[in-house]
Amino acid sequence: MSDRVTMPALGESVTEGTVTRWLKNVGDTVAVDEPLLEVSTDKVDTEIPSPVAGTLQEILVEEDETVPVGADLAVVGDGEASGGSDSSDDSAEAEDKGEEKTEEAAEETSSEKESKSSDDEQKSEEPKQEAASSGGGEVSGGEKVTMPALGESVTEGTITRWLKAEGDDVAVDEPLLEVSTDKVDTEVPSPVAGKLTKILVSEDETVPVGADLAVIGGEAGGSSSGSSDDSAESEEKAEQPQESVDSEKQDEAVEAAENKSETSEPEKAPEAKEEPKQEAPAKESSSSDQGDKQQEASTKVDNSGTYVTPLVRKIAAENNIDLSSIKGTGVGGRIRKQDVLDAAKAASAPKEEAPAPTQESAAAAPAASATPQAAPQASAEAQAKRGTTEKMSRLRKVIAQRMVESLATSAQLTAVVEVDMTKVAATRARNKENFKSREGVNLSYLPFITTAVVEALKAFPQVNSSVDGENIVYHNAEHIGIAVDTPRGLLVPVVKDAGDLSIAGIAKKIADLAARTRDNKVTPDELGGGTFTISNIGSNGSLLDTPIINQPQVAILGTGAMTKRPVVVTDEFGNDSIAVRQMMYLVLTYDHRVVDGADAGRFLSAVKARLEEGAFEV
């Protein structure tokens, strides 16, 4: 009995992966979950574990080859791999016999592959037909997994990724799939333990709450009647791929002999090098043709047109290596990982001592060296995205839709005030160490600003309202949304009843919500119900921005970066002086359907006065 190892789904938008290194050889024994190979995609480099224990009987995809998600990578089964010893004997004979045997072996291998090509194509289609027939069968018994209710206003969800495949064993509460809604992306756990018998909803499909997603347990119809036929076919197929492995290893032996003969008789080398090109059509099957087209469409190349895997690009970027200057030693001139490492080692070797600089060059050196240091360094992920096209994630599509709808719904204006945060900065500096030890969280400026905003919202209820058709709803509590930047996109968890919390309570709530939002552990209900939003636009250095209102709210406050600047300060006696102060811009975008400019100005002035007073109990 044997099992096929397939290319797993390694991300929502990942459609293919490149085999960068095999950690096991044909004939090696592997355990369950033992790393079998390394795979590289445009988003992640990872190890693929073996799904079963046994012997690695066949490697179907060579290193540096790119295949789509779901493609077969290897065969792991019981017993020893057949043909392994033959290949080593062939290799030794090919090296001993020289060029004459090389040509005979090459011709014999080519003819064998041509005679078997039609059989290969036919058998490569059989697994697809079997999978289609078994996938469409009915399942008797079992427990159905349904789309859960992921929030008060959530009515549907989209399947972004299945974490288990049909036939996998799952435990109770083990993550089964990932679901995306217009409020949150989350994992759906298995309600029972058992085998995942059937997947009813494919990835990227949207279904309503309560819809059936999968069946755990039970028995697939028609599986028992065809068990003997399936076993016979599997044995027959196991022999056929092994033959192709033998022929491939003969090719490798031939290639080794060719390389050896090239040094003695270089005039015969062009004839020997033609063999792989003639054999290539015999290796291809109808299933691999489609994968090759996908590979060509998404393959990354360097300036010279040579294939480069994402992992190689990453290593080159980390070591500042120009890929166009490297001559690849891989198949077809491909640049391999070792090529980049060798180039990096050579670049780091001590260089010859340069001649003493002239007076002019020495004077110009500081100016010249300052420019590269100021230039931003592109990460490997950023480099991999250049020149590519990717599908919008579910969350990104929701954000785009909501922002456009907000601008089309309300009449949005922006008002700005400048706030002297010097007293708040002094209060924070005095208390942050004791606060951290007492409360367990850092004391940032955001709890001070949130407290000032909450107090102003109580005084100006029109800013803490929302529009419902032709009605204005004035809320009786202050639920403050805090914009959080995550790798998946911008999310806004809500601090409920912020008006009833102290600075310490607000600080702990913000820290908890922000951490769980970034870890994708926030619940949908925590992402809704806000009455006012604060966005820390200064977290990345921005002084000003014009935030877009989070509907159906009527206002959002942006807090700019705090900077030290000289400003005119008037003391209690009316005397002016210039002093260095901690200054910040507060930006309020408001809905002119409900909030007039005068109301916005008064609201901002109240927040400004409260912060500049600096009288907070920490």
Q: Read off the pLDDT of residues 130-165 as tens digits, 9 standing for 90 and up.
A: 433 344 456 667 888 998 887 666 788 888 889 999
pLDDT at 415 over 80: yes
The pLDDT tens digits of the residues spanning 12-25 come to 667 888 898 899 99
Question: pLDDT, tens digit, for every residue of 254-282?
Answer: 444 444 444 444 444 444 444 444 444 44
**Residues facing 481 on adjacent strands:** 494, 533
Rounded to whole angstroms, how far apart are CA atoms 549 and 530? 12
Per-residue pLDDT at 321 exceeds 70:
yes
Counting Cα atoms < 13 Å in the Cβ hemisphere of 367 gives: 5
pLDDT over 90 at 594, yes or no: yes
Q: What value does the mean pLDDT of the chain take?
A: 76
**DSSP secondary structure code for residue 480 in this structure:** E
> Higher pLDDT residue, 128 or 41?
41
Interatomic CA distance for residues 281 and 278, integer angstroms: 7
CA–CA distance, 608 with 403 (Å, rounded to integer): 28
Beta pairing partners, 577: 569
d(CA 456, CA 462) in angstroms, rounded, equals 11
Q: Quick one: pLDDT at residue 306?
A: 54
Among the listed ranges 50-59, 103-112, 418-427, 456-465, which one has the minimum average pLDDT value?
Answer: 103-112
Lowest mean pLDDT of 61-65, 464-468, 604-608, name the range: 61-65
278: which residues sit within 8 A by CB, 6+ positions away? 110
Nearest Cα to 490, choosing from 555, 573, 399, 604? 399
pLDDT at 392: 85
What does the alpha-carbon distance between residue 451 and residue 500 come to, in Å, rounded to a whole number? Answer: 10
- 149-163, 176-190, 520-534, 548-562: which has the highest mean pLDDT? 548-562
- CA-nearest of 495, 519, 518, 515 to 447 is 495
What are the φ/ψ torsions at residue 575 (nearest 5 degrees)? -85, 135
| Higher pLDDT among residues 88 and 560, named by residue | 560
**Weakest-pLDDT range from 44-58, 114-128, 298-312, 375-389:** 114-128
Decide if pLDDT at 107 tops 50.
Answer: no
State pLDDT tens for residues 191-204: 888 899 899 999 88
> Residue 67 is which amino acid?
V
In 3D space, the residue among 145, 152, 216 whose CA is nearest the CA of residue 179 turns out to be: 145
Residue among 283, 289, 290, 288 nearest 114 (CA):
283
Confidence at residue 42, expressed as pLDDT on a 0 to 100 scale: 65
Catalytic residue IDs: 592, 596
Range from 408-417, 480-489, 520-529 that averages highest in pLDDT: 408-417
The pLDDT score that the predictor gives to residue 237 is: 45
